[in-house]
Amino acid sequence: MSSRRRWWRPSALSVRSKVVLSVLVMSALGMAVAWVVTDAIQTRAVLDRIDSELEQEVQEFRVLAERGIDPDTGEAFTSVEQLLRIAIERNVPGADEMLVTFVEGEAELYSPSWAGAVLEDAELQELVDRVGPRTQRVLEDWIETDVGQMHVIVVPVHVEGSAEYGAYVVGVGTDRALAAQRELRQTFVLVSLGTLVLVGAVAWWVVGRLLHPLELLSATAQQVGGDDLTRRAPVHGEDDVATLGRAFNTMLDRLAAAFEAQRQFLDDAGHELRTPLTVLRGHLELLEPDDPADVAETRALLLDETRRMSRIVEDLVLLAKSERPDFVVPGEVDLGPLTDDVLDKARALGDRTWLVDARAEGQVPGDEQRLTQAVLQLADNAVKFSRPGTRIAVGSAVVGSTARLWVRDEGPGVAPADRERIFERFVRVGEPDVRGSGLGLAIVAAVATGHGGTVAAGPGVAAHDGAAEHGLQVTLAWPVDGATDGGTDERADG
């Protein structure tokens, strides 16, 4: 019993069943409302037609009675019976009409044959009995008879010079007139039931087709696990379900990227922190507590290693954040002041000859904080791989729809085969005695990617007159809309 109750709960129905049931209910309500309105209008039309027929019959009889002339002989009527006989003989009633004449309260003539059943009705007889010699008022009523309900009008009849009195009765069977309407109701019910069955079948098929992508989506969601985020739901078309499928796949892409970033962070942290931790443990194990010189030397080394570990952790956290959508906050950047500001900050990084290669004018979309961070990282990298007194140049330009920021040095440079690898994590090339985590250029690449741009490396000084190229220039470029060339050749000593 309880399971039967649970089955009838709406929450226990499938989405397909709910949609089809809703369609059937709304279709049934729509057809019911349409039929009620239509039936009322058609019934009212039939009743109005009945009233019109009654008025017409009464009016025709009044015209004949007021003229008082027999149309066949041209002589005046001499009796009530003669007037009523001529009236009923000259009138052919409709299928639902009846005509009955009464003389002195007794039925004389009736047409058609089924009107005889009405003559036996007590209500009609009572109505006719109310027509006496002095009655002038027309009587109207609805009566129940053996042939159904009837709308009747009784017209009192008098002929001048005659003492007789009579009644001319015109009736229309409303039940007989509405018989076609009742048959139409039955037909409508049968057609409606057939239509609902057809609508239900079509709705079941259509909803099944519409929900099929959702079923595939559900199956994909059930198959996706923590160790397998490669599955994607198939998407076809451009409707709302397809949009949902694409959003689901995008969510899986983000989850996969988040898991990959987490895995990369753990791998990078384990890879990079293992060595300094080993160094710390080794020196602590060999530490001679009673030797002040050894303690001081070990303390200095441990502090240096902990600072390096702290820097590595900060860089790893920053790279982990670069996978987030809010890593770059879009805004407006004025490249000219940004170039000057970066150059002023970079002077503190080392004793170099600082230059401005080019200075762009105008505002472009970008995250000023992240761009400053990237350029300072390039400047720090240039200081590490160049000698004191050599030139390091910072530049900015807008060419077409691309904004550019770069840093150029006169160091040893990077071999062409390694110019793409240097932006990978923990990749170090060049002089082996230069300390670093190998994450600086990876951070620059993350900033470029966050702006929808790229980062590229090339020679800082191009080859000319037989001299070999040397140095390194790293350029960060990202797309901007509606920009024009804003670069200027403004080389100046810093």
68 and 32, same structural domain?
yes
340 and 305, same structural domain?
no
Could you report how far apart the first and last alpha carbons of the chain are, in Å? 90
Decide which of 295, 321, 347 is a domain's last residue.
321
- Is residue 456 over pLDDT 80? yes
173 and 284, same structural domain?
no
Q: Which residue has the higher pLDDT, 269 or 148?
A: 148
112 and 43, same structural domain?
yes
Q: Is residue 278 part of a domain?
A: yes
Q: Is residue 155 part of a domain?
A: yes
371 and 457, same structural domain?
yes
Burial (0-12, 13-18, 19+ Cβ within 10 Å), 161 = exposed
Q: Is residue 235 part of a domain?
A: no
Convert the pLDDT of each residue in 37-88 to its tens digit.
Answer: 988 898 888 888 888 888 888 888 888 888 888 887 888 888 888 888 888 8
Q: Is residue 3 part of a domain?
A: no
Convert the pLDDT of each residue in 3-29 to its tens digit.
Answer: 454 445 555 677 778 888 888 999 999
338 and 298, same structural domain?
no
135 and 80, same structural domain?
yes
Convert the pLDDT of each residue in 144-195 to its tens digit.
Answer: 887 788 888 888 888 887 778 888 888 888 888 888 888 888 888 899 899 9
Most confident of 183-187, 269-273, 363-367, 458-462: 363-367
Convert the pLDDT of each residue in 321-362 to its tens digit.
Answer: 777 777 888 899 999 999 999 999 888 888 899 999 999 988
Point out the least confidently predicted range of 126-135, 165-174, 449-458: 126-135
419 and 309, same structural domain?
no
Q: Is residue 222 part of a domain?
A: no
Q: Using pLDDT thresholds of 50, 70 and 90, give the confidence band for residue 1.
A: very low
* Containing structural domain, residue 292: 240-321
39 and 171, same structural domain?
yes
What stretch of H or E contains 169?
Answer: strand 165-173
pLDDT (mean) for 423-452: 74
Q: Is residue 474 part of a domain?
A: yes
441 and 295, same structural domain?
no
437 and 354, same structural domain?
yes
* pTM of this structure: 0.47
Q: What is the CATH number of the domain that holds 245?
A: 1.10.287
Residue of 482, 490, 488 whose CA lies nearest to 364:
482
CB atoms within 10 A of CB 6: 10
Structurally, how many domains does the chain consist of?
Answer: 3
- Is residue 487 over pLDDT 60? no
Q: Is residue 339 part of a domain?
A: yes
Convert the pLDDT of each residue in 246-262 to its tens digit.
Answer: 787 777 777 777 777 66
Q: Using pLDDT thresholds of 50, 70 and 90, give the confidence band for residue 489.
A: very low
Q: Using pLDDT thresholds of 50, 70 and 90, give the confidence band for residue 475.
A: very high
**CB under 8 Å to 471, separation ≥6 — which residues?**
386, 408, 409, 410, 411, 412, 413, 459, 460, 461
Burial (0-12, 13-18, 19+ Cβ within 10 Å), 99 = buried
Name the average pLDDT for the chain: 80
Convert the pLDDT of each residue in 193-250 to its tens digit.
Answer: 999 999 989 988 888 877 777 777 777 777 776 566 667 767 776 777 777 777 877 7
Residue of 241, 187, 196 whose CA lies nearest to 214:
241
CA distance 111 to 99: 5
Beta bridge partners of 477: 404, 454
The answer to whether the Cα torsion of 93, 96, 97, 98 is positive or negative is positive
Q: Is residue 431 part of a domain?
A: yes
CA distance 241 to 248: 10
Position 406 scores a pLDDT of 94
Position 396 scores a pLDDT of 94
253 and 161, same structural domain?
no
